[in-house]
């Protein structure tokens, strides 16, 4: 999937989880803002193994780092697209959040961490619908996809993704926001600590 599909899938996954576990305890506004950012970073994080990923293109010497990191991680859709990669990146994200906690005293890092993980899981799920599939059970070198027959899966960046998948995710996000509008308003109005 392309970056904008992953971005939209990540925020949709986050909204679905938020309404599923509602009501949330009071949250600082800083927590909500950092959690949304973490969610979006989680949505693209598995692609750090790809030198041409938007993450690397937006850094001044990102291409050089991207090639090095990509080779170190085994290439695209290898370690970072597996359950082992999810655990490792989740662990590193937690260490980073603990390290940054002193400069973000009002940020409840557990919620930020979960937002990051939801973004990562959404990435792996979305890539499971592509022809390439995802090696969920690495070190077992089998790439799993849905549907199981590769010929029925999506080609990244092509018409089905752009004209069916992306609009479908948008509709899901809009419907969830519309149906759970009172819960979302309650979260923002009554459960946000400024």
pLDDT digits over 18-30, tens only?
Answer: 999 988 888 999 9
Neighbours of 157 (CB within 10 A): 13
Condensed to tens digits (0 to 9), the pLDDT of residues 117-146 reads: 999 999 999 999 999 999 999 999 899 999
Residues in the chain: 194
pLDDT at residue 12 in the model: 98
Q: How far, in Å, are 13, 79, 135, 154 from residue 124 at the CA level?
A: 12, 12, 9, 14
pTM of the model: 0.91
Name, in order, each residue with C-beta under 8 angstroms of 24's C-beta and a sequence gap of 6 or more.
18, 111, 187, 191
Give 66's pLDDT tier (boundaries 50, 70, 90).
Answer: confident
CB 176 within 8 A of CB 12: yes
Tokens encoding 146: 């849905």
């Amino acid at each position: 999937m392309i970056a904008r599909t992953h971005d939209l899938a990540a925020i949709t996954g986050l909204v679905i989880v938020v309404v599923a576990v509602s009501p949330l305890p009071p949250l600082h506004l800083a927590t909500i803002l950092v959690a949304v950012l973490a969610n979006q970073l989680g949505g693209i994080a598995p692609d750090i193994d790809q030198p041409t990923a938007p993450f690397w293109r937006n850094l001044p010497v990102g291409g050089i780092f991207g090639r090095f990191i990509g080779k170190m991680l085994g290439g695209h859709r290898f370690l970072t697209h597996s359950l082992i990669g999810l655990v490792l990146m989740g662990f590193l994200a937690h260490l980073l959040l603990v390290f940054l906690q002193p400069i973000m005293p009002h940020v409840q890092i557990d919620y930020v961490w979960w937002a990051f993980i939801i973004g990562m899981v959404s990435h792996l799920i979305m890539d499971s619908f592509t022809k390439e599939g995802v090696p969920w059970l690495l070190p077992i070198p089998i790439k799993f996809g849905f549907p199981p027959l590769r010929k029925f899966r999506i080609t990244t960046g092509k018409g089905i993704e752009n004209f069916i998948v992306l609009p479908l995710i948008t509709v899901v996000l809009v419907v969830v926001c519309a149906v759970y509008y009172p819960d979302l308003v309650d979260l923002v109005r009554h459960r946000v600590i400024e």
